[in-house]
Every structure is written in structure tokens, then in C-alpha cells.
């Protein structure tokens, strides 16, 4: 059903024309759509709507409490989000600077979103995938945990700043708590925090510390499940249900819908892009 809705909207997408951009920029940003839309429906649903694909494996008549459609962007929404992540002369996407403490961070007036998670959870891989339409932006990805040691700031056009936080847990920086806690607590233009959780192992003790900080500081945050292509379908389903129950019963500031991601194509990250932009679009001086 989800795949069918996605295909139905593709005609409206290309009919929008100039609203989404012009010339090569628009075409290059949407090439991934046409490639993905050629996939069989089952593969398309698995790739773009993995939670719905999992939902098919429940016993008929059971009603697991999965929030599948709270945030359900149209193809037009996805296309518009990708346009913000497509680098051009008028839409500069670039690395800005790094900081070891908040008082070293740049004094920026644009809204910010930050990414935080355990070492080796796939945080840098996700950010690299988000910047796949701006290949000149270098996001270093390492197989060794704890590669990111500083707060890394990236400019996304005139719209917002993306902040890559150091990983916690194994090989975390010695001053991790002071660095990250101060940023989360005091950064005035922080609009949303994306907390990455490894879908293979679920929420760990170290994750609970990050969750407690988000809750204590009343931050709006989103739980992102990474590595969903690693566990078996049964194990992934078990983890999703456990994490969904945790979000429903143990959190107040967490968005109720989980966001599972894999890094095979641009489109899954495109669904993620539009949600990333959602809180920013409410600001009066930003026109999305």
C-alpha cells in the first residue's frame, strides 16, 4: 500500500516543475526517485517504509502499538527536502568548523540540529548519506569506534546548521559529558536532537544517559534506529517493539514514531531529511 501511494504521487512531483528547482539541479536531485520507483512493490516498501514492511509479519488481528503514520511525507515533501541538501552556487553546503567546548563553538544564528549516539552506531555514515548530494563535503567515516572527538558544524545552505556530536561509550573523549551536556543544555538555537540507537543491540546503558539529558533539558528529540539490515527480521521486530514501548512509557520529549535507516540509496535518507527540516520550517524567517 505504501509503495502504491508513492508511485501514484510521482506524476504530481514532476508536474510541480519550477517550484522544486530548475535544470540540472532538479534533475540530479530526483534521479534517485526514478531508480527506486522501478523496484518491485515489496522491495520498494522494504527500502522506503521499513516499519510498514515489518508490520506485515504480525499475527492477523493483533494490534502492536507501532506509530507508523504520524509522520508520513509525500513524494513532493521528500523532493523538496532533497533540494535543500543539493549543493549549488546558491545553496552552499559545507563544513564550517569544529569545537571542543561550547565556548569555542561558532556564534551562529541559524537553527541547529544535532546528531548523537554511541560510538560505532553509524552516526557519521548517516550524516555522510544526508550529504550525498553535496559530494564535496567531507564526512570522515571510520571502522574504529570513537572517531569523532569534537563538535563538528556543517552549514546546510541558508536554512540550518547540522552538528555532528562525539560518540559516547567506548573511546569517547574524556571531557565528553562536559562538552555534550553543556551544548545540549545551553545552545539556544538547537531545534532538534537525533539520537541514534543500534537496532542490533537496542537501547544500552550509555544510551539511557543521553536520553536522560534530552528529557532533563526538555529537548525535542527523535530516536533513529541504525543498521536495520544487520539483524534478522525477527530480531529487528523484537527490538523495534521494545524500543517503541520504551518511547511510549519512559519518555516525554521523544517523537513517538521511530525512524529506521539503512544506507543503501539516497531515498531512505530523503524521508529522513524532510523530518529533519520540519521543526525549522515553523520559524518565521525560514521559507521552505
Given this model, what pLDDT does residue 137 score?
Answer: 87
Is 164 within 8 Å of 124 (Cβ atoms)?
yes
Backbone angles phi, psi at 242, to 5 degrees: -65, -45
Residue 232 lies inside a defined structural domain of this protein: yes
- Counting every residue written for the chain, the total comes to 288
Residue 163 lies inside a defined structural domain of this protein: yes
Number of domains in the chain: 1
Domain holding 134: CATH number? 3.40.50.300
| Nine cell digits for residue 186 | 545551553
Residue 231 lies inside a defined structural domain of this protein: yes
pLDDT single digits (tens) 20-72: 444 444 444 445 555 656 667 666 666 666 666 666 666 665 656 677 666 77
What is the band of 274 on the pLDDT scale with cuts at 50, 70, 90?
Answer: low
Is 108 within 8 Å of 151 (Cβ atoms)?
no
State how far the Cα of 31 lies from the Cα of 266, in Å rounded to an integer: 10
Residue 234 lies inside a defined structural domain of this protein: yes
3-class secondary structure, 281: helix
Residue 223 lies inside a defined structural domain of this protein: yes
pTM of the model: 0.78
- Burial of 103 from C-beta contacts in 10 A (0-12 / 13-18 / 19+): exposed
State how far the Cα of 107 lies from the Cα of 110, in Å rounded to an integer: 9
Residue 206 lies inside a defined structural domain of this protein: yes
**Mean pLDDT over each residue of the chain, to the nearest integer:** 75
What is the band of 277 on the pLDDT scale with cuts at 50, 70, 90?
Answer: low
Residue 65 lies inside a defined structural domain of this protein: no
Residue 197 lies inside a defined structural domain of this protein: yes
Range(s) of the domain holding residue 123: 77-282
Given this model, what pLDDT does residue 233 score?
Answer: 83
Q: In the predicted model, what is the mean pLDDT of residues 207-230?
A: 92
Work out the angle between the directed axes of helices 75-84 and 23-37 (0-180°, nearest 10): 130
Amino acid at each position: 500500500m505504501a509503495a502504491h501511494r508513492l508511485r501514484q504521487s510521482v506524476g504530481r512531483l514532476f508536474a510541480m516543475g519550477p517550484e522544486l528547482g530548475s535544470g540540472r539541479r532538479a534533475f540530479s536531485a530526483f534521479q534517485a526517485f526514478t531508480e527506486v520507483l522501478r523496484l518491485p512493490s515489496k522491495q520498494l516498501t522494504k527500502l522506503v517504509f521499513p516499519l510498514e514492511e515489518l508490520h506485515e509479519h504480525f499475527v492477523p488481528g493483533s494490534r502492536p502499538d507501532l506509530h507508523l503514520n504520524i509522520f508520513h511525507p509525500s513524494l513532493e515533501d521528500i523532493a523538496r527536502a532533497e533540494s535543500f541538501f543539493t549543493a549549488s552556487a546558491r545553496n552552499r553546503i559545507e563544513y564550517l568548523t569544529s569545537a571542543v567546548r561550547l565556548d569555542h563553538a561558532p556564534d551562529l544564528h541559524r537553527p541547529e540540529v544535532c546528531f548523537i549516539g554511541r560510538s560505532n552506531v553509524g552516526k557519521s555514515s548517516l550524516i555522510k548519506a544526508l550529504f550525498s548530494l553535496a559530494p564535496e563535503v567531507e564526512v570522515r567515516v571510520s571502522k574504529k569506534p570513537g572517531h569523532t572527538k569534537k563538535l563538528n558544524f556543517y552549514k546546510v545552505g541558508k536554512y540550518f546548521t547540522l552538528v555532528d556530536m562525539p560518540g559516547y561509550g567506548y573511546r569517547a573523549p574524556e571531557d565528553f559529558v562536559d562538552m555534550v551536556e553543556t551544548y545540549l543544555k545551553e545552545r539556544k538555537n538547537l531545534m532538534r536532537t537525533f539520537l541514534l540507537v543500534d537496532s542490533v543491540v537496542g537501547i544500552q546503558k550509555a544510551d539511557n544517559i543521553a536520553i536522560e539529558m534530552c528529557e532533563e533539558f526538555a529537548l525535542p528529540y527523535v530516536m533513529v534506529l541504525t543498521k536495520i539490515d544487520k539483524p534478522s527480521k525477527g530480531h529487528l521486530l523484537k527490538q523495534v517493539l521494545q524500543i517503541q514501548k520504551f518511547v511510549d512509557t519512559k519518555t516525554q520529549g521523544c517523537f513517538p514514531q521511530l525512524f529506521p535507516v539503512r544506507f543503501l540509496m539516497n531515498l531512505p535518507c530523503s524521508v529522513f531529511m524532510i523530518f529533519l527540516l520540519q521543526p525549522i520550517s515553523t520559524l518565521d524567517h525560514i521559507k521552505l
